[in-house]
Amino acid sequence: ELKVEQNPLFLSMQEGKNYTIYCNYSTTSDRLYWYRQDPGKSLESLFVLLSNGAVKQEGRLMASLDTKARLSTLHITAAVHDLSATYFCAPAGNKLTFGGGTRVLVKP
């Protein structure tokens, strides 16, 4: 059974600084998704990473995948308040398995 561990579970950020969220998973997966969830809302797709070494960037967010290490990272550059949300990673096996989520709070 695929197990997914995200850390940290909570991240208090200062505006303008850089931070990284880590996603470790236990078994081989051929793709990995990152999602954002705002309070009371459903999931918003951020990235899908399809291969080892894949890197994708959108605005202040950059995601990467190392399939050998079974590790994905979500890097936030120069955090701004609008990025406050909960972020989930989800490697895909025969189904999506979600990490526990990282709650991000960006303070002025």
Cβ atoms of 50 and 30 closer than 8 Å: yes
**Closest approach of other proteins to the CB of residue 59, in Å:** 21
**Closest approach of other proteins to the CB of residue 18, in Å:** 25
Q: Is 59 exposed, middle or buried (0-12, 13-18, 19+ CB in 10 A)?
A: exposed
Measuring CA to CA, which residue among 40, 24, 26 is closest to residue 86? 40
Kindly report the backbone phi and psi dihedral angles of residue 83, in degrees, each rounded to the nearest multiple of 5, phi listed first.
-85, 0
Query: What is the footprint of other proteins within residues 11-70 (CB under 8 A)?
Result: 30-31, 35, 40-43, 45, 48
56 versus 103: smaller Cβ distance to other proteins = 103
Which among 11-19, 55-63, 68-76, 100-108 is the span making contact with other proteins, rule CB under 8 A?
A: 100-108
48 versus 105: smaller Cβ distance to other proteins = 48
> Quick count: other Cβ atoms within 10 Å of Cβ 16?
11
Which residues would be at the binding site for other proteins (CB under 8 A)? 30-31, 35, 40-43, 45, 48, 88, 92-101, 103
